[in-house]
Amino acid sequence: MGADLQINPPKPKKDMKKIVLLVCILCTFNAFSQKVIEEIFSPKLNEKREITIGLPQSYLSNPNKKYPLLVVLDGDYLFDPFQGALNYGGYWDDLPEVIIVGINQNKNNERETDCTVDPNTGLPDEKGNQFFEFIGMELVAYMEKKYRLAPFKIIAGHDITAGFLNFYLYKEKPLFDAYISMSPELPAAMEKNIPDRFNVLEQPIYYYQSTADGDVKKMQARIKELDAELTKIKKPTINYRFDEFKGASHYSLVLHSIPNALYQFFSVYQPISTSEFLEKIVVLPSGYVDYLVNKYTTLEKSLNLKMPIRINDFKAIEAAILKNKAYPEFEKLADLAKKNYPKSMLYDYQMAMMYEKTGDFKKAIRSYQSAFQKEEIGDLTKDMMLDKADELKNQ
Alpha-helical segments (H) within 92-216: 110-114, 127-133, 140-146, 160-165, 190-200
pLDDT in tens, the chain (395 residues): 333 333 333 344 444 444 443 344 334 334 334 899 999 999 999 999 999 999 999 999 999 999 999 999 999 999 999 999 999 999 999 999 999 999 999 887 899 999 999 999 999 998 999 999 999 999 999 999 999 999 999 999 999 999 999 999 999 999 999 999 999 999 999 999 999 999 999 999 999 999 999 998 889 999 999 999 999 999 999 999 999 999 999 999 999 999 999 999 999 999 999 999 999 999 999 999 999 999 999 999 999 888 999 999 999 999 999 999 999 999 999 999 999 999 999 999 999 999 999 999 999 999 999 999 999 999 999 999 999 999 999 88
Strands (E), the chain: 3-4, 35-42, 47-54, 67-72, 99-103, 149-158, 178-182, 205-214, 238-249
Domain with CATH 3.40.50.1820 in the chain: 34-269
pLDDT of residue 56: 95
pLDDT of residue 109: 82
Domain with CATH 1.25.40.10 in the chain: 274-394
In CATH, which superfamily holds the domain spanning 274-394?
Tetratricopeptide repeat domain (1.25.40.10)
pLDDT of residue 320: 98
Put the strands of the sheet holding 238-249 in their side by side order.
Answer: 3-4, 35-42, 47-54, 99-103, 67-72, 149-158, 178-182, 205-214, 238-249
Fold of 34-269: Rossmann fold (3.40.50)
pLDDT of residue 11: 41
Task: Name which of 10, 45, 48, 39 is nearest 27 in CA terms.
Answer: 10
pLDDT of residue 181: 98
pLDDT of residue 108: 78
Report the alpha-carbon distance of residue 25 to residue 23 in Å, rounded: 5
What are the phi and psi torsion angles at 29 (to 5°)? Answer: -60, -40
